[in-house]
Structure 1
Amino acid sequence: MDDNYKVGVEELKIAHNRLTVVLRERQKRRRLQLASVEEFKDLFPSQKRDKKPKRSVAQKPRAQHSSIDNKITSSRNKNSNKYQKRTADNFEFKIPYPKKTLTSNILDEKQKSQINEYHNLYQDGEKTIRNDYCQHFVDSGRRPQNFIRDTELSQRFDEYPKLKELTKKKNALVTERATPPTYLKADLRTLDLKSLGTKFDVILIDPPLQEYCRRSPLVADAAATPSFIFIWSGDADGLDRGRQLLLKWGYRRCEDIVWIKTNKKWKGSHFIEPRSVFQRTKEHCIMGIKGTVRRSTDGHFIHCNVDTDVIISEEPHYGVGTAKPEELYHIIEHFCLGRRRLELFGEDHNIRPGWLTVGLGLSSSNFDATTYLSYFSEPNGYLLGSTNEIEALRPKSPPIRDNSTAKLGAQGNIIKQKAKKQQQPTSNIMPVPSMPPTLPAFSHRWIPPPMDSKVYGTPSMDGNVYGK
């Protein structure tokens, strides 16, 4: 108790000292302001009113003076003498013209240093700084997202050690299981994707949307079931064209990744598009799905919630190129565990281990269908696999309870067996065919309202379904 009492007393003393310093500083400021006002009045003596001197009581003629009147008269004379002496003292200390009367000029260097020291140690609580990044963008052209901290991929999870370790282990596994960089120079307007000889788990496209919507190849012929597709759709009208492509190829939209562009390295004024109402500083990558994937039972094919759906990186200068952020590759490789990855409309800077890049902008080709198929010849070779460390670190859905599966009968036992297999991962997890359970007529579970299956797909009963 004594120690706590002493600590409390010391804290009160410190707080009292701080308050005393702040109050003294405010008093100094007030005195300086009053002094500047008095000096301002002295500069214009014509505006002063001539005050008539007051006649003392002793000068008034009186017929009779009593002792009480004498005391009153003497006290009044003393007060008037004090007033005259006070005005004389003030006149002696007045600063003569032409000295400047601004407060900042009256302070000497020592007082300025003391005030700056007080400001560094203590806060007034009277003034607040407002960071108006939108106005700063109008004035300088630097975008507000330039000031977001820890946007680099290497610094993203510095404050989250578990996710940082998970990302490190997944990157090591992806690098170990990646196929050699493969690329094919071809015109996608005439290329038949069936000639590639296999179907792909992931397809990434950065198309010229306006032309590609009219005359696009059948991407669905090269897509496995289940599989995912990522389409860079830009902004504004590109979003509508991207959705049209998804419907045309038999995909359903399930996610939307946003690329927020920074211009830290730009020089000069910012680029203004002629037809846009606002400054466009972002692009969208639409994610579609084909087939059915459940996060609770299909952990051999997808790992959810490892990355975010926002990418913040530098935008290339206008007219230099159409390079997209490399972070999207990491998001795809962390999410989907399929090793058969295809990128369309790629260029030389898009060539990457683990991917087959196809496009007319490539300078050469090294693709051979037989050699490429040999990379997946082993059992379940198209799967990336997982490790015990990754399974222990990655976010998972809550395990299925016995009571909920018992009400589903035989189908519930199948789901329960799938969940047990997810808890015992191996280097290459065998895929389990998905069998959607059927609800009995007496089920008390909530059933979602009917939706347009052509647009939204068929929702599952557990709410964690990506696909029909």
Structure 2
Amino acid sequence: MPESSECKKSLPLRPSRTAPVNDYSNYHVHSGSLPQKQVKNADNQLDGYPKLQKLFKLKEHQISEHATAPYGCRISIDEMIPTLNSWIHRNHIVFDVVMIGCLTDNQFIYPLLTQLPIDRLISKPGFLFIWGSARKISELTKLLQNQNWAKKFRKSEELVFIPVDRNSPFYPGLDHDDESLFERMQWHCWMCITGTVRRSTDGHLIHCNIDTDLAIETKDTQKTAVPVHLYKVAENFSTATRRLHIIPARTGKEIPVKVRPGWVIMSPDILLNNFDCDRYKEEINRIGLNLTTGPDIEALRPKSPIQKKNQC
């Protein structure tokens, strides 16, 4: 016989088997607001992690103490390759960290990379960061599968930067015939390594697992053509002091490229044009090729777990 309504009311309530979740996809359909705008700790990803906050402060102080003066090399895109060859052959300058590209969609990345004297520009071991929009991933894949590049570099990590909405200055342009349901609005950075570097033994060369692989645009990142986060990821990962950033694109006078201590920035729109090879080599000789290690940073930074040897 069917249960009466009184019997149904007397039954105890059972907890739901599915945990409540925030459906930001449904929220986006009704409001138009993208899910990344709902992330609460985008401005401070270290909120609630006091040890990591202390580590970041120590790293920031360490990097600033062992940084060269901010150098800018204002040059046209056509002159970048001849200038780099001159630095290599005439001035004998190499770099340990090279970053190419920024969050600008009109970049001359693939043709530049095919002509770049990358094997002589980066020391071994060395690190290469290449930024590109989601539409250029196929070009980067084709490049790294090239026989010459595959012998010299191996892809190690992939970083992602996400703008908050279409009004962002970092929102990548779309093709005229791009009418897909899902927009490819993120930026990707492929970190490649030349030489042999082991995170378990080469703590004097790399400090792994300090930054997250994902960054979301904040109010502070909109003040410059190159967000500071792009530089901090490279600075926190590698302990090298010789850093070069090549920006093969015009960013315009409204959003100029700013110099940064510890970096040589090559760009058509860099604000300061003061790079001098002899002065740069003197500074590198003074501060050293790598950051000095300290017990406080070594105790706080994440490390690879120690593998236990098999015991018979």
TM-score (norm 2): 0.75
User: Residue 202 of structure 1 aligns to which amino acid in structure 2?
Assistant: V
Cα distance 1:272–1:382, how it changes in 2: closer, same or farther (>3 A)? closer
Corresponding residue number in structure 2 for 1:349: 257
Structure 2: runs of 5 or more not aligned: 1-8, 10-14, 102-106
Alignment deviations for residues 207-265 of structure 1 (CA, whole Å, 9 cap, x no partner)? 4235435x6322222100000101012103x1121233444543211110011221397
- 1:16-55 aligned within 5 A: none
Which of 285, 292, 302 is 1:377 aligned to? Answer: 285
The answer to whether the aligner puts 1:331 opposite 2:206 as a matched pair is no
Looking at both structures, which has the greater relative contact order when contacts are Cα pairs under 8 Å and sequence separation is at least 6?
2
User: Residue 261 of structure 2 aligns to which amino acid in structure 1?
Assistant: P
Q: Confirm or deny: 8 A CA contact 1:189 1:216 kept in the other structure.
A: no
Corresponding residue number in structure 1 for 2:108: 208
Alignment deviations for residues 35-75 of structure 1 (CA, whole Å, 9 cap, x no partner)? xxxxxxxxxxxxxxxxxxxxxxxxxxxxxxxxxxxxxxxxx
Which of 287, 290, 293 is 2:191 aligned to? Answer: 287
SS at match of 1:171: helix
Q: Confirm or deny: 8 A CA contact 1:262 1:315 kept in the other structure.
A: no
Cα distance 1:134–1:173, how it changes in 2: closer, same or farther (>3 A)? same
Which of 63, 69, 73 is 1:184 aligned to? Answer: 73
Corresponding residue number in structure 2 for 1:396: 303
TM-score (norm 1): 0.52
Corresponding residue number in structure 2 for 1:232: 131
Q: 2 CA distance for matches of 1:313 and 1:288?
A: 24
Return the index of the structure with the highest Cα Rg. 1
Q: Confirm or deny: 8 A CA contact 2:200 2:304 kept in the other structure.
A: yes
SS at match of 2:290: coil
Structure 1: runs of 5 or more not aligned: 1-25, 27-124, 408-443, 445-468
Q: 2 CA distance for matches of 1:165 and 1:391?
A: 12
SS at match of 1:253: strand
SS at match of 2:27: helix
* Structure holding more helix per residue: 1
Cα distance 1:297–1:245, how it changes in 2: closer, same or farther (>3 A)? same
Which of 42, 45, 52 is 1:156 aligned to? Answer: 45
Cα distance 1:179–1:303, how it changes in 2: closer, same or farther (>3 A)? same
Between the aligned residues of both structures, percent identity stands at 34
SS at match of 2:115: coil
User: Residue 241 of structure 1 aligns to which amino acid in structure 2?
Assistant: E
The answer to whether the aligner puts 1:146 opposite 2:43 as a matched pair is no
Q: Confirm or deny: 8 A CA contact 1:263 1:315 kept in the other structure.
A: no
User: Residue 235 of structure 1 aligns to which amino acid in structure 2?
Assistant: A
Alignment deviations for residues 420-466 of structure 1 (CA, whole Å, 9 cap, x no partner)? xxxxxxxxxxxxxxxxxxxxxxxx9xxxxxxxxxxxxxxxxxxxxxx
Q: Confirm or deny: 8 A CA contact 2:239 2:291 kept in the other structure.
A: yes
SS at match of 1:377: helix
SS at match of 2:285: coil
Cα distance 1:291–1:218, how it changes in 2: closer, same or farther (>3 A)? same
Deviation at 1:167, TM superposition (A): 0.8
How many residue pairs are counted as aligned between the two chains? Answer: 270
Which of 279, 297, 300 is 2:204 aligned to? Answer: 300
Question: Segments of 4+ in structure 1 off by > 6 A?
Answer: none
Cα distance 1:185–1:271, how it changes in 2: closer, same or farther (>3 A)? closer
Corresponding residue number in structure 2 for 1:168: 57
User: Residue 300 of structure 2 aligns to which amino acid in structure 1?
Assistant: L
Q: 2 CA distance for matches of 1:189 and 1:375?
A: 28
Cα distance 1:350–1:141, how it changes in 2: closer, same or farther (>3 A)? farther
Q: 2 CA distance for matches of 1:321 and 1:141?
A: 25
Corresponding residue number in structure 2 for 1:258: 160
Q: Confirm or deny: 8 A CA contact 2:224 2:257 kept in the other structure.
A: no
Alignment deviations for residues 287-327 of structure 1 (CA, whole Å, 9 cap, x no partner)? 111000011111100011111111111499xxx99934321
Cα distance 1:359–1:324, how it changes in 2: closer, same or farther (>3 A)? closer
Q: 1 CA distance for matches of 2:111 and 2:303?
A: 41
Q: 2 CA distance for matches of 1:142 and 1:271?
A: 19
Deviation at 1:131, TM superposition (A): 4.4
